[in-house]
Amino acid sequence: MLEIKNLVVQIEDKRILNGLNLTVNKGEMAAIMGPNGSGKSTLSYVIAGKEDYEVLDGEILLDGQNLLEMEADQRAAAGVFLAFQYPLEIPGVASMTFLKATLNAQRKARGEAELTTPDFIKRVNAAAQQLEIPKDMLKRALNVGFSGGEKKRMEILQMALLQPNFCILDETDSGLDIDALRIVSEGVNALRSPDRAFLVITHYQRLLNHIVPDTVHVMSAGRIVKTGGKELALELEATGYADYRETEAA
Amino acid sequence: MPAVQETIDQVRSIDVDQYKYGFETEVEMEKSPRGLSEDVIRFISAKKGEPEWMLQWRLDAYKRWLTMKEPAWARVSYDKVDYNDIYYYAAPKKNQAPKSLDEVDPEILKTYEKLGIPLREQEILAGVEPERRVAVDAVFDSVSVATTFKEELSKAGVIFMPISEAIREYPDLVRQYMGSVVPVTDNFFATLNSAVFTDGSFVYIPPGVRCPMELSTYFRINEKNTGQFERTLIIADKGSYVSYLEGCTAPKRDENQLHAAVVELVALDDAEIKYSTVQNWYPGDAEGRGGIYNFVTKRGDCRGKNSVITWTQVETGSAITWKYPSCILRGDGSRGEFYSIAVSNGMQQVDSGTKMIHLGKNTTSRIISKGIAAGKSENTYRGLVSAHRKATGARNFTNCDSLLIGNQCGAHTVPYIESKNATAVFEHEATTSKISEDQMFYCQQRGLSEEEATALIVNGFVKDVLQQLPMEFAVEAQKLISISLEGSVG
């Protein structure tokens, strides 16, 4: 599904990704762990198409399509979704309005018909209920005055609605209390399917107790330095990232 | 959300040319001699068949104007206007008081058709349900070419006609009120207007009457080197209500053109006037060539107790905007409101705002101003809120927000607050924000294009004000804002 080959990226002359290779297969739940500054968030932004990053080498293929040649909105229409670590506020734009605009923009880009309003509302309500999002939150301006937990739930709501086939979760567990973590994890697990792949970026093993990964990659100094099963996460929790920092130096 | 989609479609449908009203109408015109003199004023007055008092009024204004200096305090800079190089009167030759639309030059009718302004009542009646009908006065350069629904309005006792006609037919009303809100000596541009004004609308709503439909005037500057000096006077008698909308466009030209209007509103006891403007004069090209100089004096007088005047404006056009629709809150318990969206792009310069002058007891006012600056434009809000000694219990709430798109534009807020009464409570809030790259990326990551994302964010920003516009115009205004911002990102 997603194939990253020898990706080299810099920002303002600072090398962040250093020949990164990564494959995520259809239906797979992949986790990336690593110390601060190892380039995890950069990787998520580069996949999603944020400007400011200079790609010096390598390629990113999603089902064979070269993502690096596409604008961020085209990548979204192709099925890439990034759940932000810090979701942005859009003042004056009701969450409901935003959801409808984005869903219809993607449908249009894929040559599908726009949803009718009743159809749309039905879908939103169903997804909102699962994530325990009250209706009045949907009427409020997107993310404005939302708590950390509300923002993260709103991210997962968008994911549920847009039905992307490649989902990146960037530190979705940060700022969540135990209940919110459970709700968000359940929301993510409900979306697991043989046709959909996930890349979960996190510092802590905690999230992976709820969202159980198929594979765990360790990232350090802009590269994947170790790959294993879910037990690798537990190992890291016990030993820390010290071993991998040495790799960095070497 | 359909409106956003419409906005986008509209923007897409325009290729290179963002200003779609920039066409010119070929029509034979009759003009005054170029420049300004007593003779030119006599010429205009004679053309309008005015009584002697009106001519004298004009000549007095002219004498006064000769002693005045053009104001320089606004945050705008422009090449000096040569007031002797302008035509002060230009009218279509065939328009000698047409009795019906059939007598109006077909080229002019086509112009309004192209602009989407309905002038044929039967067509309006055929297509639209009655409550959405709008009576239109169409002003083409210096004359009114058509006014619709006059008869039906007169059944309700409402007078809606070109001001030049009102001067002849209702001289007492005009004499009583004209210049009573904006005195002849008010300011350089208002005094100039008083000397040379050519046409505009006159509205009188009798006591207790709720005007049965929206009234609107549509101003079009067509002729080259011609200034437009319209004058509008609206009187809402005791307990009456009227909602009025003004629209304006002009052809694209390399030279600047002057538009110096005066609008006076008078609301007597318990009356309410809603005055909305969708200003879309030609803004000039990307290098700042051409465009309208919009120097306008608009003022409402809440003369009666518990009267209400609301100004709502959507400003997207003009090279230079100098405009401060104001309210004099004279009657006890009267209320003034000002809702504004001012969009500037390219090389446009906007200096606009309002004045709320609290004179009476328990008067209230509310100001919501949204400035959006893009390109290399400069956008200034300038406002005054004052409470005089007797204005016990005066209250004002002001909110000024500015949104910057890109990093070559400027937004400025210049609020003046004066209170001479200790019981007055004035609140002022102001913010300046930027559409951040992160916001754009967030929207694009969800599938919105750059244009769609900008439109969505801007629509969110101006929502409070758009809600104040009459329904059908709100959609228009929303489209207009996005068109004005086309090409402002990336």
Distance CA B331, CA B239 (A): 13
pLDDT of residue A242 exceeding 60: yes
Distance CA B103, CA B194 (A): 30
Look at residue B2 in the predicted model and tell me its pLDDT.
43
Amino acid symbol at B42: R
Distance from CA of B442 to the nearest CA of A (A): 7
Per domain, the residue ranges of chain B are 2-484
Q: How far is Cα of residue B30 from the mean position of the Cα atoms in its chain?
A: 26
d(CA A60, CA A57): 10
Whole-number Cα distances in Å, B408 to A52, B135, B434: 19, 42, 12
pLDDT of residue B13: 41
Find the mean pLDDT for residues A104-127. Answer: 91
CB contact under 8 Å between A73 and B447, yes or no, is yes
pLDDT on residue A29: 97
Residue A226 near residue A232, CB atoms below 8 Å: yes
Query: How large is the average pLDDT for residues A36-60?
Result: 93
Mean pLDDT by 10 residues, chain B (490 residues): 46 47 73 86 90 94 93 87 86 63 69 65 45 68 72 88 91 95 94 91 95 84 78 96 84 78 96 90 80 91 97 88 95 96 88 96 95 90 95 95 88 93 94 88 95 88 80 72 65
Domains of chain A, start order: 2-88+164-249 (3.40.50.300)
3-state secondary structure A192-215: CCCCCEEEEEECCCHHHHHCCCCE
Looking at this protein, which amino acid is placed at residue B235? I
H helices of chain A, in order, are 40-48, 72-77, 95-109, 117-130, 135-139, 148-162, 178-191, 206-210, 231-239, 242-249
Test B449 with A73 for CB contact under 8 angstroms: yes
Q: With an 8 Å Cβ cutoff, is B490 touching chain A?
A: no
Residues 137-156 of A with CB under 8 A from B: 141
| Higher pLDDT, residue B186 or A204 | B186
Residue of B nearest to A77 (CA): B447
Rg (CA), chain B: 22
Q: How far is CA A60 from CA A63, A196, A225, B120, B441, in A?
A: 10, 17, 18, 60, 19
Specify the pLDDT at position B103.
66
In angstroms, rounded to a whole number, what is the distance separating the alpha carbons of residues B110 and B107?
Answer: 5
Residue spans of alpha helices (H) in B75-120: 106-115
Give the pLDDT confidence score for residue A124 in this predicted structure.
Answer: 94
ipTM: 0.95
**Which range has the worst mean pLDDT, A211-215, A245-249, B107-111, B272-276?**
A245-249
Exposed, middle or buried, A130 (CB in 10 Å: 0-12/13-18/19+)?
middle
Which chain A positions have a beta carbon within 8 Å of B463's beta carbon? 92
